[in-house]
Structure 1
């Protein structure tokens, strides 16, 4: 069996792992094998039923008869049904309709109905009526009418009222439903508030996604040698996620050296040099559809940091640790903002957009802005069983950027970190 260094260094590079703590995150059976989950089936099924019940609870609170979902992340949350998720993000060709006191119906892309067989929360499978221009062309209006009639008929037969929550719907669809006497509500808010409180089973699934992500990060660490491009290093995370049953990466945020500042540049064919800072944000949608949103920064070639790199890295760690220590149930977002770490003046022009955000099957509500940008009217409270990400981006004029981020579960006693991949010893 190939060892980790030989496998990961196969792109005309052979290196030796410089940090045994990070090497430990690779598959102990060998880096040439994918990680295989041992989560029992009942854990997944319990999470599925919990999630659907959360949606129905929020529907009851909103006094709406049904919830219409087009966002593939919301459909995955409701039913654990996944089919061409990226494609259907921009081609709304499959959807779900959940009755508050009735059946949960999956309207599947034609020919794919079998993908929903055996899903315990799907009561009925119907072919989707797609009216997107791509496939409907000059027949859009005709197909739109048939789609709207079917939704209206279901509400009339099985709903308690004509209030329908919808997460995403193009204007023609909204108008067609309103013409049929249906009152539309914001289904995205409803869904995100439902998703914000996690069950113990969801956390177990999320821990596995983070395990896979950290194995990918270990591969990235080993690949962070002079002569590799940003894209080559980033590809190691894609590889580990894909072969371990994961889904996709939401962004391409890995840069090195001067390209780390300003932040939000995407990875490129830039060839990284020894001593340059490599900074990244995983934004990984992994196994079971859960998100591992972790950020780290380290040095190409694994050499010692310069004094400036150490200064920036220390500030980023200080921000993470300070803000992490504040988190507990009952803390309002306003209180968090008032007590959060104050970013030094020289770093403010290069600050990150968020101090905190929720995480579930993707980045989700709440998104709490950093203190210079916080709006005091932004309301909310940290609650037990939320999963929050604590963010830091530290840079100054002419420097590299340090990007750090950790993912935490809010418990009765405070914040419990879900990721354990080591910080750098700077």
Structure 2
């Protein structure tokens, strides 16, 4: 799997004519090399990065006293100490450290890319970009090659992703079992985290669980609110599970033994109709625009509170592509082609502006040569579908 991923990255670099890439984002770094170290910490601290030439040996720059963490990885040829380009790590020496950092990267480019000065960088502190330019390096966006590399999964990645999904489903079962009137949102949410950590997962990216009137509008974070009998409870797993794979599934539960209201059933059945329609539509060879234009037509009542995508890529996180609603395509969309072995999450949020509650549903799908394969068989709420 590591060799496949590294090969994907290098193929993209070659296609774009780049001499190499510097990767700071710890998710991208893990994808390209299989090496990880304090992944959440590194999301906000530029203390770890890797230089990957399009051809030649790979140099990892790791956090102090962490060189041993990449021993045995065939994707790493050399480990050096990182120069952390942050004020908290460098203080008044930040600009001098940036000059030293840029010279080291420029020397590696000269050694392994020759006269090619085009260097992709996924994310970089501003002082680093300035100093690379002074070294004559032509800095290019590194997100494009990485996102396109990550978008197509091989067999091993697909099997690993299934393990992450099974882990999330076990957490969801625990949540369903624990859901009784009187539990708080935070207490309920903790069950997914516990299962994920116990089974070797990493973390949950968001806190998207809400209940009752907090389900509308969407994106209200989990709180200490007490969940009451008869309330809807909506959540999005957003879970980085075993092997670092992202499980992105959404469900809406009904708390307690009360019969659902007609309005709750209407919302739920509308969201269910949307994702089922868009799942059936999904096939390789469709363009993003075609899929958007043919997707389920959301009623005007629910359009203002719509989710921001109809579907999006999923892998080690939410990733390329984002496919937006047709009404948003000219302003926010971009085109491309849905390909076999992409993994896409199909989304629905249904809630009226000013409405009492809303429903969030989502499925994670492998694009196959004939259509799609659903990674999850976690059931929907039968009480809300009757």
Classify the TM-score, shorter chain: over 0.9
Kept in 2: contact 1:342–1:371 (CA 8 A)? no
Would the aligned equivalents of 1:70 and 1:94 in 2 still touch at CA under 8 Å? yes
Measured after TM superposition, the shift of residue 372 of structure 1 is: 2.8
Question: What is the SS of the residue equivalent to 1:405?
Answer: strand
Is 2:77 aligned against 1:120?
no
- How large is the RMSD of aligned CA atoms in angstroms? 1.1
Equivalence map 1:127-146=2 (5 Å): 127-146=81-100
**SS of residue paired to 1:273:** coil
Alpha-carbon distance, 1:85 to partner: 1.0
Aligned residues: 380
Please show how residues 350-369 of structure 1 align to structure 2 within 5 Å.
350-369=305-324
Q: 2:113 matched to which residue of 1?
A: 159
Aligned to 1:195: 150
Corresponding residue number in structure 1 for 2:104: 150
In the TM superposition, structure 1's runs of 4+ consecutive aligned residues that sit over 4 Å from their partners are none
1:175 is matched with which residue? 130
SS of 1:90 mapped into structure 2: coil
Q: Which residue matches 1:34? A: none
Specify which of 211, 221, 240 is matched with residue 166 of structure 2.
211
- The residue aligned with 1:39 is none
Cα distance in 1 for partners of 2:334, 2:113 equals 34
1:408 alignment partner, one of 354, 362, 365 = 365
Deviation at 1:242, TM superposition (A): 0.9
Distance 1:288 1:278 in 2: 29
Distance in 2 between the 1:303 and 1:123 partners?
Answer: 61
Once the 2 structures are TM-superposed, how far is the Cα of residue 121 of structure 1 from its aligned partner?
1.1
**TM-score, normalised via structure 2 length:** 0.96
Contact in 1 for aligned 2:85/2:125 (Cα 8 Å): no
Say which SS state the counterpart of residue 335 (structure 2) adopts: coil
Unaligned runs of 5+ in 1: 1-46
Mapped contact 2:168–2:247 kept (Cα < 8 A): yes
Alignment partner of 2:344 out of 388, 391, 403:
388
Cα shift at 1:345 = 1.5
Equivalent of 1:239 in 180, 183, 194: 194
Distance across 1 between alignment mates of 2:127 and 2:87: 12
- Counterparts of 2:330 and 2:314, CA distance in 1: 21
CA distance in 2 between counterparts of 1:143 and 1:350 reads: 47
Q: Identify unmatched segments of 5+ residues in structure 2.
A: none
Q: What does 1:1-400 align with in structure 2 at a 5 Å threshold?
A: 47-160=1-114, 161-375=116-330, 378-396=334-352, 397-400=354-357
What whole-Å deviation, never above 9, does each CA across 1:209-237 have from its counterpart, x for those lacking one?
A: 00101111111111111010000000001
Give distance in 1, aligned partners of 2:264 and 2:326. 24
When normalised by structure 1's length, the TM-score is 0.88
Q: Contact conserved, 2:106 with 2:135, CA < 8 A, in 1? A: yes
1:335-370 deviation digits (Å, cap 9, x = unpaired): 111211001121112211110000010001111112
Per mean C-alpha deviation after superposition, the further-off stretch among 204-213 and 299-308 is 299-308
Shift in Å, 1:140: 0.9
Kindly provide the CA deviation profile for residues 25-72 of structure 1, in whole angstroms up to 9, marking residues without a partner as x.
Answer: xxxxxxxxxxxxxxxxxxxxxx11100000000000011111100000
